């Protein structure tokens, strides 16, 4: 993939150099409340025989702005489900990162917050230049924060992150828009939200971005989706350095190690064939608990090995209309307002954007996804989406049983024999994983 501008951030440059060398960058989702454990995880990620990016995933108290509750938990000796970057002293986090976070090993902070100003303020203070999320993708699926509050908050957060330029660094921001709810969201909407959030970031002055897409139910459809995503990024992000990041499947994960590893291998192949620069991995423990450092390390090695064996020049994929659908959605939203934040608010108010099975009050809730007879993700109902081929689901909606079958579709494809399912044992670590 040819980027539209020279990447200037550490993460952007690192991925661009890897792509130029024909390599895929692999990255874990990793966060520990213990600074010692967090540093050990970063060291392990850096030292695996693969091209890796480090991750500091924040805890849920930080994500929700409940710092006092998180502080009480730590004070009582409890363990959080991520790194509490606002609770640990700056010196502690500097010690975690000492000798690690540099141009040869970028570290990205992942958080999940609809209102991330305080988090970004701390990132700038620490000199950490890479993060992710978005005003839609980190608002609608995860809580009840009003969308307008999230949009306004993300505008301020982008301004804060932009201050890193005064520290001789270029910030990098990744949209989570291609991962909405993780499953049963047809790819056209995932592509559109990923592009729109990236355009939102660019309008706030950020110049080095990545666009996400989560592995779905069919590899061929996913390849078409990634081609459409790259086409729209090139069209709508002129002058911006960007790459695509693929997420290993985010729905119900296989419960056997054989199934989990096969699904991850398919994700690595998808990332390479789809022209992505990075892959966010999953592990054999995903169906049961937070993975250990060792499980993450093994998954990174597996994904890298699969990527290295994958043909980088596959045959063209069929056009089933995903590019036309995503283009129609993006252009309809952009027609609503020159300010992309305002356009996003108006789009959800009109139902031009509507996430299937999302219960957020600002989501119309009139759309639904399904898996069709060809094994592709399709619309069961398009509500008011302004797409070329609307679907009226009032005549043929999914039953509860059909919905459950669809949610289990990928897991059951990789774990066809339930008798082989053996729960992964709980690790004896610091209590972070459970």
Tell me the per-residue pLDDT of 194-216, one tens digit each, with 9 for 90 and over. 999 999 999 999 999 999 999 99
**Among candidate residues 249, 170, 246, the one with its CA nearest the CA of residue 210:** 246
Residue 159 tokens read as 């301004």
When mean pLDDT is compared across 93-102, 142-151, 353-362, the lowest value belongs to 93-102
Say if residue 217's pLDDT is above 70. Answer: yes
Contact 228, 209 (CB under 8 A): no
Per-chain mean pLDDT for the chain = 91
**Percent of the chain having pLDDT more than 70?**
92
CA atoms lying within 13 Å on the CB side of residue 316: 4
**Among candidate residues 157, 172, 146, the one with its CA nearest the CA of residue 348:** 146
Interatomic CA distance for residues 30 and 294, integer angstroms: 11
Q: What is the mean pLDDT of residues 76-93?
A: 92
Contact 276, 24 (CB under 8 A): yes
Residue 217 tokens read as 């139910």
Say if residue 422's pLDDT is above 80. Answer: no
Interatomic CA distance for residues 383 and 80, integer angstroms: 40
Interatomic CA distance for residues 150 and 135, integer angstroms: 5
Q: What is the mean pLDDT of residues 409-422?
A: 77
Which helix (H) or strand (E) element contains residue 382? strand 377-382
> H-type helices in 248-396, by residue range?
257-273, 293-308, 322-334, 340-350
**Among candidate residues 128, 427, 101, 132, the one with its CA nearest the CA of residue 296:** 427
- Which of 227-231, 317-321, 392-396: highest mean pLDDT? 227-231
More reliable by pLDDT, 168 or 207:
207
Interatomic CA distance for residues 39 and 422, integer angstroms: 31
Interatomic CA distance for residues 289 and 284, integer angstroms: 10
Interatomic CA distance for residues 176 and 78, integer angstroms: 30
Q: Give the global pTM.
A: 0.93
Interatomic CA distance for residues 106 and 15, integer angstroms: 10
Interatomic CA distance for residues 17 and 264, integer angstroms: 24
CA distances from 61 to 54, 80, 111 (A): 22, 8, 10
Q: Which phi and psi angles does 97 have, rounded to 5°?
A: -90, -10
Q: Tell how far CA 135 is from the center of its chain.
A: 13
Say if residue 296's pLDDT is above 70. Answer: yes
Q: At what angle do helices 187-203 and 340-350 cross, to 10 degrees?
A: 150
For the chain, the structural domain boundaries read 10-308
Give domain 10-308's CATH architecture.
Answer: Alpha-Beta Barrel (3.20)
β-pairing, 130-133 vs 107-110, is parallel
pLDDT category at 434 given cuts 50, 70, 90 is very low
β-pairing, 54-57 vs 25-27, is unpaired
């Amino acid at each position: 993939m040819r980027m539209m501008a020279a990447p200037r951030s550490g993460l952007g440059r690192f991925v661009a150099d890897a792509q130029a060398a024909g390599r895929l960058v692999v990255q874990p989702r990793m966060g520990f409340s213990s600074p010692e454990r967090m540093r050990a995880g970063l060291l392990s990620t850096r030292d695996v025989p693969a091209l890796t990016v480090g991750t500091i995933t924040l805890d849920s108290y930080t994500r929700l702005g409940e710092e006092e509750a998180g502080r009480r938990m730590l004070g009582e000796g409890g363990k959080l489900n991520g790194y509490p970057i606002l609770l640990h002293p700056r010196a502690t986090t500097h010690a975690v990162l000492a000798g690690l976070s540099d141009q040869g090993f970028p570290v990205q902070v992942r958080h999940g917050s609809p209102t991330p100003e305080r988090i970004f303020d701390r990132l700038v203070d620490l000199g950490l230049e890479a993060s992710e999320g978005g005003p839609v993708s980190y608002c609608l699926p995860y809580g009840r924060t009003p969308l307008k509050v999230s949009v306004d908050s993300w505008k301020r957060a982008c301004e804060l992150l932009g201050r890193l330029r005064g520290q001789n660094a270029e910030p990098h921001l990744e949209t989570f828009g291609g991962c909405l709810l993780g499953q049963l969201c047809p790819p056209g909407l995932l592509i559109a939200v990923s592009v729109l959030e990236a355009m939102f970031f660019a309008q706030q002055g950020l110049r080095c971005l990545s666009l996400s897409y989560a592995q779905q139910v069919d590899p061929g459809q996913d390849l078409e989706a990634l081609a459409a995503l790259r086409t729209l990024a090139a069209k709508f992000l002129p002058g911006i350095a960007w790459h695509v990041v693929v997420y290993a499947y985010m729905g119900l994960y296989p419960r056997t190690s054989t199934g989990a590893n096969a699904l991850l291998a398919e994700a690595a192949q998808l990332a390479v064939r789809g022209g992505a620069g990075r892959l966010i991995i999953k592990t054999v423990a995903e169906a049961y608990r937070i993975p250990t450092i060792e499980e993450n390390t093994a998954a990174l090695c597996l994904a890298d090995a699969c990527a290295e064996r994958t043909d980088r020049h596959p045959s063209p994929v069929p056009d089933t209309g995903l590019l036309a659908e995503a283009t129609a959605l993006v252009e309809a939203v952009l027609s609503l307002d020159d300010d992309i934040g305002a356009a996003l608010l108006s789009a959800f108010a009109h139902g031009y954007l509507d996430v299937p099975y999302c219960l957020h009050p600002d989501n119309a809730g009139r759309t639904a996804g399904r898996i069709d007879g060809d094994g592709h993700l399709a619309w069961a109902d398009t509500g008011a989406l302004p797409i070329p081929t609307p679907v009226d689901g009032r005549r043929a909606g999914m039953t509860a049983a059909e919905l459950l079958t669809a949610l289990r579709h990928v897991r059951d494809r990789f774990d066809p024999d339930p008798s082989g399912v053996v729960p992964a044992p709980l690790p004896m670590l610091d209590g972070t994983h459970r």
